[in-house]
């Protein structure tokens, strides 16, 4: 059973499958080198990037993410402000410290990382990392980034999870979820909490989702207070800060009951502009669609009642349950199923979470999730210039 933790991962922009996933793969690779006592024998690292990862890799900072992770950084803790200087140093010296240790290896500016536009056999997002001692390859691993920051090693691709922890209310469909809720008289969030308690201690659950909401709020705050132009060749101007000023000025005089929707849109724009700038965000369920779930909770916080620990936990558990269903039965990868699997799923998750907070029954939560997806069916993944900017940011709003 997938944990709700896996639907909300703290990381960096601009892409969960092309930035966060490769970064996790690189970190796993150097952790393996340490575990296998191979690290100090390594003299050179080489990386091969395939398929969709290669085609949009530069725009999605795939290369930067891999380099940072080989140095021992993780998506949730990497010091974002320090990365430009670090990457310049690696490029200039063509040397890289591995796994957060003083051990340095060669990492050539030309040929150290090669982009292949062909796919590996199993998935569109593939990468191979090789560690050499002299001319001898001492360790090599193939990874697939399958969407939402999830990665799979080649040997485990398509295999069932071994020794999976059992949960009291396992479900693989909305029908099963609703049957469990009817049998137990539990809400969707209450039922999912029982499952999470089989996987994590209660204190860990509370800490994790407090950190998730804190990260989302900080991201909104940065986004709606930052001016300028987003990085990349498109020169897309940031809009959230200007929209916020307009809304604050208009609030004093407006009688438009729909103005609240403009606030929701502004919150979403703020998050996705931060994501496009490589800021710290939370997959919900992906980076490309990371603005919708926090924007709806920010709406609740500003216009319904202040969000407490109980409120954000119920919201994330209910919305996460819907995300799990899409992850298990379809996909949350834009490379696999288009934007319907990212923005569509995020809209569905947010609708479910809000319905839960508004007192909706389990049936109403699922109906809201269906309505949220309905108008996104068939939405393709077609980012201009390979940047997570146009139309990605606007679609979140």
Q: Is this structure's pTM higher than 0.95? A: no
Give the count of domains, the chain. Answer: 2
Per-residue pLDDT tens digits of the chain, which is 397 residues long: 899 999 999 999 999 999 999 999 999 999 999 999 999 999 999 999 999 999 988 889 999 999 999 999 999 999 999 999 999 999 999 999 999 999 999 999 999 999 999 999 999 999 999 999 999 999 999 999 999 999 999 998 877 655 578 999 999 999 999 999 999 999 999 999 999 999 999 999 999 999 999 999 999 999 999 999 999 999 999 999 999 999 999 876 677 888 899 999 999 999 999 999 999 999 999 999 999 999 999 999 999 999 999 999 999 999 999 999 999 999 999 989 999 999 999 999 999 999 999 999 999 999 999 999 999 999 999 899 889 999 999 999 9
**In a 3-state reduction of DSSP, which class is residue 45?**
strand
Same domain flag for 130 and 276: no
Q: Which domain holds residue 199?
A: 174-396
4 located within any domain: no
110 located within any domain: yes
In angstroms, the Cα distances linking 64 to 78, 224, 284, 289, 379 are 12, 26, 22, 21, 29
9 located within any domain: no
Same domain flag for 118 and 197: no
User: What is the C-alpha to C-alpha distance for residues 107 and 67, in angstroms, rounded to an integer?
Assistant: 9
pLDDT value, residue 161: 56
Same domain flag for 209 and 109: no
User: What is the C-alpha to C-alpha distance for residues 344 and 176, in angstroms, rounded to an integer?
Assistant: 22
1 located within any domain: no
Same domain flag for 206 and 141: no
Same domain flag for 145 and 238: no
The beta strands (E) that lie in 73-179 are given as: 95-97, 104-106, 113-116, 125-133, 136-147, 150-153
3 located within any domain: no
Q: Which of 89, 122, 156 is the last residue of a domain?
A: 156
Same domain flag for 131 and 207: no
Look at residues 183, 195, 193, 179 and name the one whose alpha carbon lies nearest to residue 366.
Answer: 179
pLDDT value, residue 250: 83
338 located within any domain: yes
Same domain flag for 183 and 146: no
Q: Which of 128, 156, 184 is the last residue of a domain?
A: 156
Same domain flag for 152 and 233: no
Q: Which of 113, 128, 156 is the last residue of a domain?
A: 156
User: What dihedral do alpha carbons 56, 61, 66, 69 form, nearest 10°?
Assistant: -150
pLDDT value, residue 190: 99
Can you read off the two tokens belonging to residue 50? Answer: 């395939």
Same domain flag for 113 and 186: no
Same domain flag for 245 and 353: yes
365-394 burial string, b = 16+ CB within 10 Å, else e?
A: bbbbbeebbeebeebebebeebbbbbebbe
8 located within any domain: no
pLDDT value, residue 386: 85
Q: Which residue bears the tokens 């980034």? A: 145
22 located within any domain: yes
What CATH number does residue 125 fall under?
Answer: 3.30.1330.90
**What's the CA angle centered on 98, arms 97 and 102, to 5 degrees?**
55
Nearest-10 crossing angle of helices 292-303, 202-223: 90
Same domain flag for 287 and 317: yes
Same domain flag for 145 and 190: no
pLDDT value, residue 74: 98
């Amino acid at each position: 059973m997938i944990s709700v933790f896996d639907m909300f991962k703290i990381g960096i922009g601009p892409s969960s499958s092309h930035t966060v996933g490769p970064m996790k793969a690189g970190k796993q690779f150097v952790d393996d080198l340490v575990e296998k006592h191979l690290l100090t024998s390594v003299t050179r690292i080489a990386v091969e990037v395939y398929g969709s990862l290669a085609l949009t890799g530069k725009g999605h900072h795939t290369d930067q993410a891999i380099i940072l992770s080989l140095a021992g950084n993780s998506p949730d803790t990497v010091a974002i402000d320090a990365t430009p200087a670090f990457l310049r140093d690696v490029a200039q010296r063509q040397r890289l410290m591995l796994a957060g240790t003083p051990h340095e290896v060669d990492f050539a500016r030309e040929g150290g990382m090669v982009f292949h536009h062909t796919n590996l056999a199993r998935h569109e997002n593939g990468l191979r990392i090789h560690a050499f001692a002299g001319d001898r390859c001492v360790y090599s691993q193939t990874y697939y980034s399958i969407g939402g920051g999830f990665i799979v090693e080649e040997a485990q691709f398509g295999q069932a999870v071994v020794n999976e922890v059992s949960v009291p209310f396992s479900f693989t469909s909305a029908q099963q979820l609703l049957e469990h809720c009817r049998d137990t008289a539990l809400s969707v969030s209450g039922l999912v909490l029982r499952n999470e308690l089989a996987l994590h201690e209660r204190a860990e659950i509370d800490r994790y989702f407090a950190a998730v909401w804190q990260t989302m709020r900080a991201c909104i705050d940065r986004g709606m207070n930052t001016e300028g132009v987003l990085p990349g060749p498109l020169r897309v101007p940031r809009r959230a800060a200007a929209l916020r000023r307009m809304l604050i000025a208009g609030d004093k005089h407006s009688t438009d009951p729909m103005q609240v929707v403009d606030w929701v849109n502004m919150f979403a724009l703020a998050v996705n502009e931060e994501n496009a700038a490589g800021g710290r965000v939370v997959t919900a369920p992906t980076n490309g669609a990371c603005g919708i779930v926090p924007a709806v909770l920010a709406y609740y916080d500003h216009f319904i009642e202040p969000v407490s620990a109980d409120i954000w936990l119920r919201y994330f558990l209910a919305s996460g349950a819907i995300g799990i269903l899409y992850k298990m039965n379809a996909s949350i990868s834009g490379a696999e199923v288009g934007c319907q699997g990212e923005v569509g799923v995020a809209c569905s998750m947010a609708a479910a979470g809000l319905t839960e907070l508004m007192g909706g029954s389990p049936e109403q939560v699922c109906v809201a999730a269906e309505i949220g997806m309905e108008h996104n069916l068939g939405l393709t993944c077609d980012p201009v210039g390979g940047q997570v900017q146009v139309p990605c940011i606007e679609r979140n709003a």
